[in-house]
Amino acid sequence: MHIGQMIASARTPFCSLEFFPPSDAAQMPDFYATVERLRALDPLFVSVTYGAGGAGGRKTLSVTAELARRGFAVMAHLTCAGADAASLDAFLGELRSSGVCNVLALRGDPPAGQPWDWNQGAFCHASDLVAFVRERQPDMGIGVAAYPAPHPESSSFAQDRRHTAEKMRAGADFAVTQLFFDAREYEDLVAHLRGQGVTTPVIPGILPVQSFESLRRILSLCGANIPGKLYLSLEKAHADGGAEAVREVGLAFAVGQIRRLLDCGAPGIHLYTLNRADLCLRLAQEAGLA
């Protein structure tokens, strides 16, 4: 079943999970062991990431196919970077032959350290990719990304909200948000979309803060905002108890965030697992998702 249909049929809040294929083949047994541990959460679906600049597509295909074989409803990430019509047709065909009928259509990131001009590619925006997949594979489920805080390249909230609405109108069945730390941003995003007549489900994506180093990396990559009160709490925890105390504060904040999001009508929660079972199991249990 398409993920959009599964979301529409869900009667209670659900969780979904994101995994990334390990770069080292020797790590695959541990990766699949983590996946099996997280089966306990009964995820509505799982997603598999795609490398920057279109790299790693073969791993995405192989991991997605294996998760489908293991009985998960699985969605492969699909990016514009480095893509052309022939390669996308081939990728979609291989997914279908593996029993996978859902993709997350993203603009993606260009290869690191290389000059890049999005206007030179066959696909410039995620909405182009959505339209292509919808035309080539009309019965495929399509998700897109949404940004509670604007994408780093957007000039304003309003512009970013318009772009999100365009992706949905191009044929997306649902959206998954980039990580964020202020539930009010999610509420504003959904309200703005509904004001434009867009009723597509929006699933909030959650990743707990685990260290100051990871927090800095997150903020630099995705442009998320962090509430001052949370930052001060993390800073105090770091000074008083180090990395473990930071993780506890980050987890507690994420639990509260999930509860508020579900209270305000979010259909479910998408957990960015970082391929770590213990963290996700504890978070889901304390937030009432398991």
Please list the active-site residues.
18
CA nearest neighbour of 81 among 111, 115, 112? 111
| Phi/psi-derived region of residue 253, left when phi > 0, alpha when psi is between -120 and 50, beta in every other case | alpha
Q: How far is CA 214 from CA 44, 105, 219, 245, 283, in A?
A: 27, 26, 9, 14, 18
Residue 41, token pair as written in the block? 């959460």
In the sheet that holds 74-79, the strands lie side by side as 202-203, 174-177, 141-146, 102-106, 74-79, 46-48, 14-19, 268-272, 205-206
d(C-alpha 2, C-alpha 16), whole Å: 14
